Structure 1
């Protein structure tokens, strides 16, 4: 059975979807903004918040670290300065972790390198996220898997062989793995989401939880993902699309996240049990909209019913349904009917066939 537990929260096909608000670096390097995002995410009803952790000096080549990075979304003159300005340190993480826990939220981060993974392990985070870019980074996968905590692994830009390699690297050390279908584009167009890959991953790994890292800028595709079997949904989260930074434009704001969580929680109830049956709440509307058979005109006793004598008119109830019409035609009324008066089974009798009548008279 595919099942995962994060901070005591069970994630499985028969459990509620696990929703992660990806804060990433949308906090802009500010602890206070990060706390605002955590609080807003909690108010939206998510299960967890997630940051991104990088050890920038060891992660990037010197050329990339020193590369000029001067544009409207830059927080530094070079790419390294930009990344350092967005990075939160130990004390900030401790403060945010405590704040999230006080709200009952899961709190963890993407580890982009081994020092960052060690940093998060020292904080005793309940899970680790692996970004799509590290799906082929087997050394990092093994390093993180060895901590024995659940791994949520994005699969953007991957072949199925890449996914197999990652799973094979992790499983001997740790079987608590969740695979996220992902399109590594920011934002991702609807036509590039390839949500059917969720079913592919579920079929290929029948004992692993599968989810979606959704970079599309709406909420509907996550609901489709749920219907395909995704039980973890990760969405980027911000408080303003106008804030400085590249991720804000496609991140959900609180109203969007609230609606997403609401709708995801509604899906199991909406699916029901599959038994087709009338519901009590349908009775009154269907009585008004439905129809019964009534006399289309005044009909006398002894009249043999023919086409046009009866009509299907609203409201339903207190008479025979329209599907009974064929069984009434050719029968004789035993009492008169006024126009629009409902007809009942006791209002008609069979008409004796002439041959049968002649036989009786001869006898």
Structure 2
């Protein structure tokens, strides 16, 4: 049995509507006011949580121009790692106003820490949960330190193989994490849907026995919504106010209308999955009369033998079910019947009567 996790009073699990996380990342573009508007927009769109990232450039990389630290391809080509993270980071003195505002308007806020000092800052702010980013899933010491807080932890698994995922899970358990979830992820920005191989998600659920979700870097919602049908309990998407805003992550992030659609449609998909069942549904009840049933197609009289040319299977469904056709043919009528009236058991001699 896969155990649910709880974040800020919200139950997250297989029998719950998907938990939607809006990832702010660097989409504030260096403006606290923009960051606050993103928090508000995520709440308005219906997201369960807004997530930020907690690092400084010097806590995530080294200030170096050597080739190892140069970005030579992709969205951020031409920058050093230090320059990228200086551009993209969320200043630490913004964290308290962001946490305060999120709590004021009623949306959960938590973060991805990238070193122990970030965890300490987030603990001081009362973070209700933690996210381990895909690139940090191999940093087992960081995972153990986060786990020591006793808070729920969500780990992205982009680029990690099955062995590395198992090692990260073991580190979290050893560190004391009791509420753990993992996210299937492709760490491409953006990532093509064809890279996601969503059948892996179902395998992860079976293999690791944890609440599992999707960190989705595709440009639309199709991959995320499909993942719900395969068992995803958490959906994370990058979120911005304007995809053309020019920031590090803007171009592959959802705008408010897209996030609103994701929140709405994910719940619809989850409701449509429902439970295994073959009983008639409430929405079908008024249409049962349109099923086929047996009807007399000519006038007959008491004592007549019912022949094949005197009844038919037609709509509506007020008569006997068509499966009784062969049992009805050849029997004698107990009373007169009119054409275009339903065949019923009380008009036919011997039908359904128990022999003594």
TM-score by length of 1: 0.83
Q: Which sections of structure 1, spanning at least 5 residues, go unmatched?
A: 352-363
- Mapped contact 1:73–1:244 kept (Cα < 8 A): no
- Mapped contact 2:145–2:175 kept (Cα < 8 A): no
Q: How does 1:1-363 map to 2 (within 5 A)?
A: 2-64=3-65, 80-175=82-177, 176-206=179-209, 208-267=210-269, 269-287=271-289, 289-317=290-318, 319-349=319-349
2:144 aligned counterpart, secondary structure: helix
Deviation at 1:329, TM superposition (A): 0.7
Q: For 2:12 and 2:59, how far apart are their aligned partners in 1?
A: 34
- Mapped contact 1:65–1:80 kept (Cα < 8 A): no
Q: For 1:85 and 1:187, how far apart are their aligned partners in 2?
A: 19
- Mapped contact 2:144–2:174 kept (Cα < 8 A): no
Q: For 1:280 and 1:164, how far apart are their aligned partners in 2?
A: 44
Q: 1:81 to 1:338 in 2, by over 3 A?
A: same
Q: For 1:124 and 1:257, how far apart are their aligned partners in 2?
A: 26
Q: For 1:202 and 1:273, how far apart are their aligned partners in 2?
A: 18
Q: For 1:251 and 1:162, how far apart are their aligned partners in 2?
A: 28
For residues 154-201 of structure 1, give each alpha carbon's deviation from its aligned partner in whole angstroms, at most 9, with x where no partner exists: 111111111122222232222232211111122222222132333333
Deviation at 1:25, TM superposition (A): 1.0
Which 10-residue stretch deviates more, 151-160 or 256-265?
256-265
Which 10-residue stretch deviates more, 167-176 or 44-53?
167-176
2:285 aligned counterpart, secondary structure: helix
For residues 57-100 of structure 1, give each alpha carbon's deviation from its aligned partner in whole angstroms, at most 9, with x where no partner exists: 342233359978899977x9766444323333233221111110
Q: Which sections of structure 2, spanning at least 5 residues, go unmatched?
A: 352-356
Cα RMSD, aligned residues only: 3.1
2:163 aligned counterpart, secondary structure: helix
Which 10-residue stretch deviates more, 197-206 or 180-189?
197-206
Q: For 1:211 and 1:264, how far apart are their aligned partners in 2?
A: 12
- Mapped contact 1:65–1:79 kept (Cα < 8 A): no
Q: 1:249 to 1:304 in 2, by over 3 A?
A: farther
Q: 1:91 to 1:58 in 2, by over 3 A?
A: closer
- Mapped contact 1:55–1:115 kept (Cα < 8 A): no
- Mapped contact 1:72–1:244 kept (Cα < 8 A): no
| Larger Rg computed on CA atoms | 1
Q: 1:222 to 1:343 in 2, by over 3 A?
A: same
Q: 1:68 to 1:156 in 2, by over 3 A?
A: closer
Match of residue 354 from structure 2: none
- Mapped contact 2:215–2:237 kept (Cα < 8 A): yes
TM-score by length of 2: 0.85
